[in-house]
Amino acid sequence: MTYQPPSSAKPTAAFVGASWTVLILGLVSFAVGLWNATMTKSEKGFYAAVLVLGVFAAVSLQKSVRDRVEGLPVSALYLGLSWSVVVLAVLMLVIGLWNSGMALSEKGFYGLAFAMTLFAAVAVQKNVRDTLQFRLPSPATYR
């Protein structure tokens, strides 16, 4: 038996717009912060790579969890790897910020921009999937 979301599962335009806005705001804020930072290029690259890793892992995890809920096959290995990489990205950011010479306010800025971006990426991915699922005809129409 597969999960069938109710027909009201289509996300509202306000939620879709807010999710995209927060994602873009988080990415741009993080990028502008790195651009203006006094750290070395290698440090900037580290933080940028951690953000990209975190966003990809969070979206992958959300998709894996959703697939399982809907009865689609997802291996325990892939689900475990998705969780592990999300945790790893967060740990890498925390350790990097902990060991940096930045002011506490800068550390907080990067932490909040990172968390905001990951959350927004998951919301955007969910909205894209919900909207697509709402637009596709139900399997009953093919019988």
Short-list 104, 87, 1, 106, CA closest to 44: 106
Q: Please tell me the pTM assigned to this model.
A: 0.84
Checking if the pLDDT of 108 tops 90, the result is yes
Q: What pLDDT does residue 135 have?
A: 73
pLDDT of residue 141: 47
> What tokens does 30 get?
């993080």
pLDDT score of 137: 62
Q: Are 46 and 78 in contact (CB under 8 A)?
A: no
Spatial contact of 136 and 72, defined as CB atoms under 8 Å apart: no
Q: What is the pLDDT of residues 69-79, one digit of tens each?
A: 888 899 999 99
Residue in the block written with tokens 């690259």: 45
- Taken in order 68, 27, 100, 43, the sign of the CA dihedral is positive
Residue 143: its pLDDT value, please?
45
> What pLDDT is stored for residue 11 in this prediction?
87
Spatial neighbors of 69 by CB under 8 A, at least 6 apart, are: 3
Tell me the C-alpha distance between 92 and 98, whole Å: 10
Query: What pLDDT does residue 104 have?
Result: 95
Average pLDDT, the chain: 89
Q: What is the mean pLDDT of residues 92-111?
A: 95
Nearest in space to 1 (alpha carbons), one of 74, 53, 65, 71: 71
Q: Which structure tokens are listed for 22?
A: 């927060």
Tokens 């873009």 sit on residue: 24
The tens digit of pLDDT for each residue in 14-64 reads 999 999 999 999 999 999 999 999 999 999 999 999 999 999 999 999 999
Distance CA 62, CA 72 (A): 13
Helices 41-69 and 104-135: angle between axes, nearest 10 degrees: 40
